[in-house]
């Protein structure tokens, strides 16, 4: 490559990056509108004093799920918008413009909800949406390549992970897995018995009559599939032990974070059911054994593990439908598809399918590169 080609390549990279951010913003902003105004039926004319909700005290009853949903829904919006604005205006002005835009969008959605029966407009929703926008904008500021901690994250990414935009797509899919942990259904750690009572391992009957083998098998297949998928993003030749221990720590962190956000802290310790402990322990053991065989068939192993994970969930769902038809996983029993738990459940269904398709794309790209075309 000539010396003159490098600036051209760098400019092209920046152009594609900005186009990607614009595309993300164009896609995500309507999704916020869709989730805010669903189900778009039986629109009404609000009362003359409907806007007084802006001046009323915050609602006396607010759930953690609602607050988490409001923050997380606007966090990506703030991140993308701030990333676009920081190249045009000063960082402080970009932060201010981003937060004001997020608040304005949330205000518009809350006012439009006055026209939709079944939706309740709330000034607290505007504030929490604004908080989510602010957090996203701050994350965008921290991710700058020329300052800490963004420069350290970029150096860490270059040292440990394969280059290319396809690998970045893999990171996004791992982010979808993290979102799926906020579901109250399997395979989230908080799933299974949330609505019928917790059964920690120290309260398991001596005859194991309360043990659910299906739950444990789903946890096993989830851990193996997740770990092998993440391993396809790591550079070959690096030590596997640090990666595996990091996978264990990150997996448990996100599961416990989801539980801490959705549940009372006083019951967190009771979430360690025997199914979860055995499932996670056996899953990580099988992951260690699979990783010890090297990278020669890593893509095939990861794809196979994802297929097993998908089949385990489908089989368990079919069994519950046949044996306990009163228990249905679809639609999510946790409520609306547009709060964090409902969205997470949809994500938990979709992400292994997307991951499987992604591995197929990576395999085709690798074969194309080897062919020299």
- Top pLDDT among 33 and 186 is at 33
Instruction: Check: CB of residue 283 under 8 Å from CB of residue 222.
Output: yes
pLDDT at 124 over 90: yes
Lowest-confidence segment of 43-52, 95-104, 234-243 by average pLDDT = 234-243
Q: What is the mean pLDDT of residues 7-33?
A: 79
Torsion angle (degrees, nearest 10) of CA 140, 142, 147, 153: -100
The pLDDT confidence band at residue 91, using thresholds 50, 70 and 90, is confident
pLDDT at 192 over 90: no
What are the φ/ψ torsions at residue 178 (nearest 5 degrees)? Answer: -60, -40
* Nearest in space to 284 (alpha carbons), one of 260, 259, 255: 255
Condensed to tens digits (0 to 9), the pLDDT of residues 195-205 reads 445 566 666 77
- Top pLDDT among 237 and 168 is at 168
**How does the average pLDDT of the chain come out, rounded?**
82
Q: How far is CA 199 from the centre of its chain?
A: 27
Full DSSP string of 95-154: HHHHHHHHHHHHHHHHHHHTTSTT----HHHHHHHHHHHHHHHHHHHHT-TTSTTHHHHH
* pLDDT recorded at residue 181: 86
Q: Where are the domains of the chain?
A: 5-154, 161-371
HSE-CB of 15 using CA atoms within 13 angstroms: 6
- Cα separation, 307 vs 139, in Å, equals 34
183-219 burial, b for 16+ CB within 10 Å, e for fewer? bbbbbbbbbbbbeeebbeeeeeeeeeeebbebbbbbb
Element (H, E) at 280: helix 274-291
* Nearest in space to 126 (alpha carbons), one of 41, 9, 190, 36: 36
Instruction: Check: CB of residue 64 under 8 Å from CB of residue 72.
Output: no
* pLDDT recorded at residue 271: 66
* pLDDT recorded at residue 331: 47
Q: What is the DSSP letter of 200?
A: B
Greatest Cα-to-Cα distance within the chain, rounded to the nearest angstrom: 74
Lowest-confidence segment of 2-16, 50-64, 72-86, 148-162 by average pLDDT = 2-16
Full DSSP string of 257-278: HHHHHHS-GGGGGGG-BHHHHH
Q: How many CB atoms lie within 10 A of CB 2?
A: 6
């Amino acid at each position: 490559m000539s010396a003159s080609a490098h600036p051209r390549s760098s400019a092209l990279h920046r152009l594609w990056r900005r186009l990607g951010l614009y595309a993300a913003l164009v896609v995500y902003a309507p999704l916020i509108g869709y989730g805010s105004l669903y189900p778009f039926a039986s629109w009404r004319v609000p009362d003359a004093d409907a806007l007084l909700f802006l001046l009323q005290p915050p609602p006396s009853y607010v759930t953690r799920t609602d607050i988490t949903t409001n923050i997380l829904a606007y966090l990506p919006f703030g991140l993308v918008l701030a990333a676009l604005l920081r190249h045009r205006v000063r960082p402080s002005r970009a932060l201010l413009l981003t937060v004001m835009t997020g608040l304005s969008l949330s205000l518009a959605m809350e006012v439009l909800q006055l026209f939709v029966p079944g939706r309740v407009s709330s000034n607290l929703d505007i504030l929490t949406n604004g908080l989510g926008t602010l957090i996203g904008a701050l994350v965008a500021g921290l991710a700058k390549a020329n300052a800490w901690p963004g420069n350290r994250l970029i150096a860490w990414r270059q040292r440990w992970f394969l280059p290319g935009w396809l690998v970045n797509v893999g990171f996004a899919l791992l982010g979808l897995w993290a979102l799926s942990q906020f579901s109250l259904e399997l395979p989230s750690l908080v799933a299974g018995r949330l609505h019928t009572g917790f059964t920690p391992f120290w309260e398991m009957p001596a005859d194991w009559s309360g043990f659910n083998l299906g739950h444990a098998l789903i946890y096993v297949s989830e851990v193996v599939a997740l770990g092998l998928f993440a391993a396809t993003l790591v550079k070959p030749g690096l030590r596997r032990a640090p990666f595996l221990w990091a996978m264990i720590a990150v997996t448990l962190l996100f599961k416990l974070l989801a539980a801490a956000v959705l549940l009372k802290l006083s019951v967190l310790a009771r979430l360690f059911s025997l199914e979860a402990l055995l499932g996670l322990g056996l899953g990580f053991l099988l992951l260690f054994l699979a990783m010890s065989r090297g990278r020669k068939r890593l893509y095939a192993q990861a794809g196979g593990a994802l297929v097993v994970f998908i089949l385990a969930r489908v089989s368990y769902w079919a069994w519950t439908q046949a044996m306990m038809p009163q228990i249905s996983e679809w639609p999510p029993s946790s409520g609306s598809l547009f709060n964090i738990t409902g969205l997470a459940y949809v994500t938990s269904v979709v992400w292994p399918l997307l991951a499987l398709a992604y591995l197929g794309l990576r395999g085709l790209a690798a074969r194309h590169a080897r062919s020299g075309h």
